[in-house]
Chain A
């Protein structure tokens, strides 16, 4: 029973934190760019505003357009439930492993792409086509990084991966782990639409990927999609944090370790947020046809991660 309670608490925590995380990254970027910036809790206001507005739907769109935001949100929320944010052993651990998580996120991406095509605008088509390109090219990297992690942990089960590093702290600094971290970091930038792959703040057509797909959405649909995007960011940050630097994750379901887990999670999220904000401020967006080069760099990193995992046994 405690297991399920932790699961529910984890889910609620993640849902609640996600917009805040996006707000923090934005605020840090603003500060780094010598601006005041909106407060970190601005996205919550935005969501509330959007939920209160009416929706305008294109006359060309079909039921898919209206279904897609729910599917995107549900799949991302399901993926978020699978992440070991607070505890190592949870009942949902057996239901899905790291591969399932990646595929759930892909489900959301696919539906969003379809929804981009539905209203029939050129922007939607463009965003959809680019998004699927990036997602397809990021897949091998993700798979190989998972493979590298699974090689050292013995399986792709999330709890097991976390547990392995907890049990053997030296493994966290092994080349396999570090390279896999680097590869996944690049993939995170690509999948969540951060610079240098995509600019989340732009509204220039030719530089959009994610924004182009959701151009026709408004009101509660847009709110759901924005929330799902924030959730995705949180999922990736939490994975990067808890899989590679797992100290702090509660091994037993007791109040003190859980409180510690919460604190360490917040610290890790903050650190990664700072890194991402600094990175986004320093680099310019890549031309779309340079993105595959970046992704192939991450692919090579993942390949090296796998090879060193094999060699290091």
Chain B
């Protein structure tokens, strides 16, 4: 019965998405197309969540093989174990609100861009993402991975009349295929000679590989999957592609797709390769810390709201990788309980990030939808005009800033606690690595809080800085409902941490180096990291905070004067307040920009135009400031130049003569035949 139900659910999921894709392509009215798109996507997401929940709770994996499809490479093999189920759940949880949001949001595209194509690609994207976590052999995995990349490319290119979108699409396509090439090589190296491509075979074969080869596979997997996840230095496509895509697509990409990069590394390192040497974990911690810091430092100085969110995704992925790295490190040092905690913290943070980043992107989309602008220097005063959006965005900002009692705080606390068991271990390099990781984690947390105070404060508070902001209106119902759902989830995931953590511990059990039975990570409402005495209860904290709030409010109500008058902003007695007097987004980040000037190397350019009669009458001032984009300038630009130079040299072969080309073909064929002849003769 159980197997049939799970098989049914998986069939429903596939059919729902495919149905949504086909229905979207029908030539119908725009409203109906949008509704059908969302309907298919939500139905599929719901089926996915149900399937994942079933596997997570029942604890037994679900497998399905269809060898008839694609006989090369062993056919299509699907299997859902705990790890995959978790990511399927994450995809579903992010997809349903995003799809609902799309109904209202994509109305703006009617007539200009193809809604049918958008709807079809959206459903296909969700379908292929779900199939990636279900894949159980190399061929299925690679096919669904590539299909996912292509579907997301088309989604990114929705607004193809804008130049920056086309450029973003180009970067994205190039980098995702570089990643694919690396992953392909990794899988090829991992496959046993002459054996099948199933993951079970790979697992068995990995044990027989030499340590050097395992190391190479690991590094290739880190680079390949890391490029999808947005790990430094392969993150450059993220800040271009995510802002260019429609907001609900950005939410899906940031919330769900980059997590599949994490899934890939976990699948290869934890599941297929098994326990590895300590440097694997240390490498991931280093890359994760670098990503976290780079992401947050660039997010701080961004004025474009969606680019800020994209860089923040890079930061949070870095945090997840710190957790994953710590887990792998502890597993290789033989401390299974600590490893379980670190990995559980990383997975929890991945889920939380999916939820609050999706919420933030949806909010940014509502703002862009209402004002037509993503530039924070032109926004402001939206809290009164978009009350629901503002409230939801505030919840998201508090969550991503890691403030109690929301979900971001819980996972950051767990990450900290997971780095502490470095205490007991005597391995030489563990101490400095962990210390630096803790420092990086803390600095990131602080800077992220600052970045999101800026994002929320400048966008929503005070006076509107432009006419578009003044004329803004609240988002339609579907968009609001989607945001409220995600905001509620942020709160629930934080308060319900005591329920989530044991599930995470359970799904990790049995993988490489981890105990068969997960250590108890909670006791009642308390979260108990193993090995120490520390504990925390987000639910009790929330109750305490609410009690304190209520108490303060009551006491003030009873004991204090009640009068309230509305007047002008005092501003130390200055008369008049206009929007030009407010702090702008650039101004807000200025102290931190100065502190980190060595990294940013900002260039400043101030031009003052004075009246020709007298230099005391200033007519205008122009201030221009730019930050050096390190990676683009010093890593990617040279790389692109070399490739272009190499291509120019190779162009000499293109003589334009058809005969020359044909001659190349024939000569190559003859040469191959001769070689095979010589080889068979020598055998």
Contact = CB atoms under 8 A, between A and B. Distances in A.
Is A–B contact present in the complex under a CB 8 A cutoff? yes
Contacts of B589: 129
B612 interface: no
Interface stretch (B150-158, B181-189, B456-464, B469-477): B456-464
21 contacts: A54-B561, A59-B568, A78-B545, A95-B535, A100-B536, A118-B462, A121-B581, A129-B583, A129-B590, A135-B449, A139-B443, A139-B445, A140-B446, A150-B423, A155-B533, A157-B533, A157-B535, A215-B572, A220-B556, A288-B591, A306-B435
A133 B591 CA distance: 7
Contacts of A123: 571-572
Interface in B541-575: 541, 544-545, 548-549, 551-553, 556, 559-561, 563-572
A110 B401 contact: yes
Interface string B394-412: 1000100111100001000
Interface in B575-592: 577, 579, 581-583, 587-592
B565 A310 contact: no
**By CB atoms of chain A within 10 A, which of B383, B535, B569, B581 has the most?**
B569
A128 B416 contact: no
A6 interface: no
Nearest to B457: A117
Interface string B358-385: 0000000000000000000000110110
Interface string A74-109: 110110010000000000101111011001101100
A114 B545 contact: no
Contacts of B544: 78, 81, 92, 95
B561 A94 contact: no
B398 to A, nearest CB: 7
Interface of A: 51-64, 70-71, 73-75, 77-78, 81, 92, 94-97, 99-100, 103-104, 106-107, 110, 113-114, 117-126, 128-130, 132-133, 135-140, 142-144, 147, 150-151, 154-157, 159-160, 205, 215-216, 219-220, 223-224, 288-289, 292, 299, 303, 306-307, 310, 313
A110 B535 contact: no
Contacts of A130: 591
B526 interface: yes
B532 A60 contact: no
Contacts of B533: 154-155, 157, 159-160
Contacts of A122: 571, 581-583
Contacts of B568: 58-59
Contacts of B579: 120
Given A52-B560, A121-B569, A156-B417, A95 B536 contact: yes
The 9 closest A-B pairs by CB, nearest first: A125-B583, A139-B446, A155-B532, A143-B442, A120-B462, A54-B563, A136-B446, A74-B548, A117-B457
Contacts of B563: 53-55, 219
Nearest to A161: B533
B450 interface: yes
A151 B443 contact: no
Contact of A143 (B439, B548, B592): B439
B96 to A, nearest CB: 29
A128 B453 CA distance: 9
A268 B182 CA distance: 61
Sorting the interface of chain B by its residue count into under 10, 10 to 19, 20 to 34 or 35 or more gives: 35 or more
Given A56-B565, A114-B457, 15 more contacts: A51-B559, A59-B568, A60-B381, A60-B569, A70-B553, A95-B536, A96-B536, A97-B536, A117-B583, A133-B450, A144-B438, A155-B420, A216-B569, A303-B439, A307-B431
Nearest to A108: B403
B591 A156 contact: no
B391 to A, nearest CB: 9
B413 interface: yes
B563 to A, nearest CB: 3
A306 B250 CA distance: 41
Contacts of B560: 51-52, 219-220, 223
A292 to B, nearest CB: 5
A56 B384 contact: no
Given A113-B457, A114-B457, A52 B549 contact: no
Nearest to B300: A136
B333 interface: no
A193 B551 CA distance: 27
A106 B403 contact: yes
A93 B553 CA distance: 26
A155 B535 CA distance: 9
A257 to B, nearest CB: 22
B462 A119 contact: yes
